[in-house]
């Protein structure tokens, strides 16, 4: 039952977010061997000025050892 939560700055269209969720679902089903019906994808928009406080400091930095893809930036 993979669940993916994507956080990003606001500004993407509903069409872009839907396509992103579809592509993430496709990648998960192909690489992890599960059915698309088992996958859920959330996209949450975080304002740029809130990124460090709401995402970097609480989810990225403290969980760095579990990130399979690390960001190429720091806050």
| CATH number belonging to domain 3-66 | 3.30.429.10
Angle, alpha carbons 69-73-75 (nearest 5°): 120
| pLDDT at res. 33 | 96
Instruction: Please tell me which residue in 2, 10, 62, 71 is annotated as part of the active site.
Output: 2
Q: Long-range contacts for 54-61 (Cβ within 8 Å, ≥24 apart)?
A: 55/7, 59/7
How do residues 1-17 score in pLDDT, each as one tens digit?
999 999 999 999 999 99
CA of 28: how far to CAs of 9, 21, 34, 48, 62, in Å? Answer: 23, 10, 7, 28, 25
Please say if 10 is a catalytic residue: no
Reported pTM: 0.91
């Amino acid at each position: 039952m993979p669940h993916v939560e994507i956080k990003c700055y606001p500004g993407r269209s509903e069409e872009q977010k839907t396509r992103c969720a579809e592509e993430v679902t496709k990648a998960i089903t192909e690489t992890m061997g599960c059915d698309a019906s088992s996958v859920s994808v959330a996209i949450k928009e975080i304002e740029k000025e809130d990124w460090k406080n709401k995402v970097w400091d609480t989810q990225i930095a403290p969980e760095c050892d579990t990130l399979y893809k690390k960001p190429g930036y720091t806050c």
